[in-house]
């Protein structure tokens, strides 16, 4: 964006992450994830997220107040990256929420690629079947954007490597809520809490896709 004086203006960053994880999760839909990687700018619009509410949430990595080297960044307070590895091969990007010590975060499950698509395609390799498959799922997203444990604990409000660009709020009529996916067993009612937020009928949302509503 170029201002009246000819100076290049950077889009505003998202800085408000101090609220409840479910509230922040919903508000992140439609915002943009930005990654500076080897001189390239990669940008994607957030289309799917999941909220993890902290120690009281049995599906959360901080359930019961668990605190380890792996999840320590979840306690840094809102606005930090919590990046973890699953199955020994896939990274997942989370954005911490709430005050310092809250242990809550939002998992970014899928984005629509907007900028830097050739770089994403190169990183994902020949198995990708078009832009729709580049970032549809948390592991694919992190592979495409070059996000790994090196970025764990990063302050997204100030970092030049990874940040969230603030965009217009998505209207409630475009939001779909369902239970979270891929959870373990013996979580009681937490298995069914509607803490997964996605853009209704958006092709970039990961599987399983929420049913269409009339």
Report the predicted TM-score, pTM, of the whole model to 2 decimal places: 0.92
CATH code of the domain in which 75 resides? 3.10.300.10
The whole-number pLDDT of residue 129 equals: 82
Give CA–CA dist 127/125, Å, rounded: 6
The answer to whether 35 and 145 have CB atoms below 8 angstroms apart is yes
Taking only the tens of pLDDT, the chain with its 214 residues reads 434 444 445 679 888 899 999 999 999 999 999 999 999 999 999 999 999 999 999 999 999 999 999 999 999 999 999 999 988 889 999 999 999 999 999 999 999 999 999 999 999 998 888 889 999 999 999 999 999 999 999 999 999 999 999 999 999 999 999 999 989 888 999 999 999 999 999 999 998 766 543 2
Residue-number span of the structural domain to which 130 is assigned? 21-199
- Position 14 in a domain: no
The alpha-helical segments, DSSP class H, found in 29-161 are 117-124, 138-145
The whole-number pLDDT of residue 175 equals: 97
Q: Number of folded domains in the chain?
A: 1
- Position 11 in a domain: no
- Position 193 in a domain: yes
The whole-number pLDDT of residue 99 equals: 97
- Position 2 in a domain: no
- Position 3 in a domain: no
The whole-number pLDDT of residue 1 equals: 42
- Position 209 in a domain: no
The whole-number pLDDT of residue 3 equals: 40
- Position 44 in a domain: yes
- Position 211 in a domain: no
The whole-number pLDDT of residue 14 equals: 84
Degrees to nearest 5, angle at CA 105 with 143 and 149: 35
- Per-residue pLDDT of 82-105, as tens digits, reads 999 988 889 999 999 999 999 999
- Per-residue pLDDT of 5-23, as tens digits, reads 444 456 798 888 999 999 9
Give CA–CA dist 27/14, Å, rounded: 10
The whole-number pLDDT of residue 88 equals: 80
Give CA–CA dist 98/104, Å, rounded: 7
């Amino acid at each position: 964006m170029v201002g009246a004086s000819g100076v290049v203006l950077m889009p505003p960053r998202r800085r408000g992450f101090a609220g409840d994880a479910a509230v922040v999760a919903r508000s992140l839909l439609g915002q943009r994830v930005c990654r500076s990687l080897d001189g390239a700018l990669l940008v994607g619009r957030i289309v799917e997220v999941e909220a993890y509410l902290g120690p009281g949430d049995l599906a959360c990595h901080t359930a019961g107040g668990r605190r380890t080297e792996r999840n320590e960044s979840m306690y840094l307070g809102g606005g930090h990256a919590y990046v973890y590895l699953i199955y020994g091969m896939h990274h997942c990007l989370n954005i911490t929420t709430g005050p310092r010590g809250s242990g809550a975060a939002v998992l970014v499950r899928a984005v629509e690629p907007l900028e830097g698509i050739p770089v994403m395609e190169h990183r994902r390799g020949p198995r990708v079947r078009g832009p729709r498959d580049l970032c549809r799922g948390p592991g694919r997203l992190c592979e495409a954007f070059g996000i790994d444990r090196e970025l764990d604990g990063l302050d997204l409000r100030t970092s030049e490597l990874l940040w969230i660009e603030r965009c217009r709020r998505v209207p409630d009529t475009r939001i779909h809520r369902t239970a979270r996916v891929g959870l373990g067993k013996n979580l009681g009612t937490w298995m069914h809490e509607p803490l997964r937020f996605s853009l209704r009928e958006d092709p970039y949302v990961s599987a399983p896709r929420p049913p269409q509503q009339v």
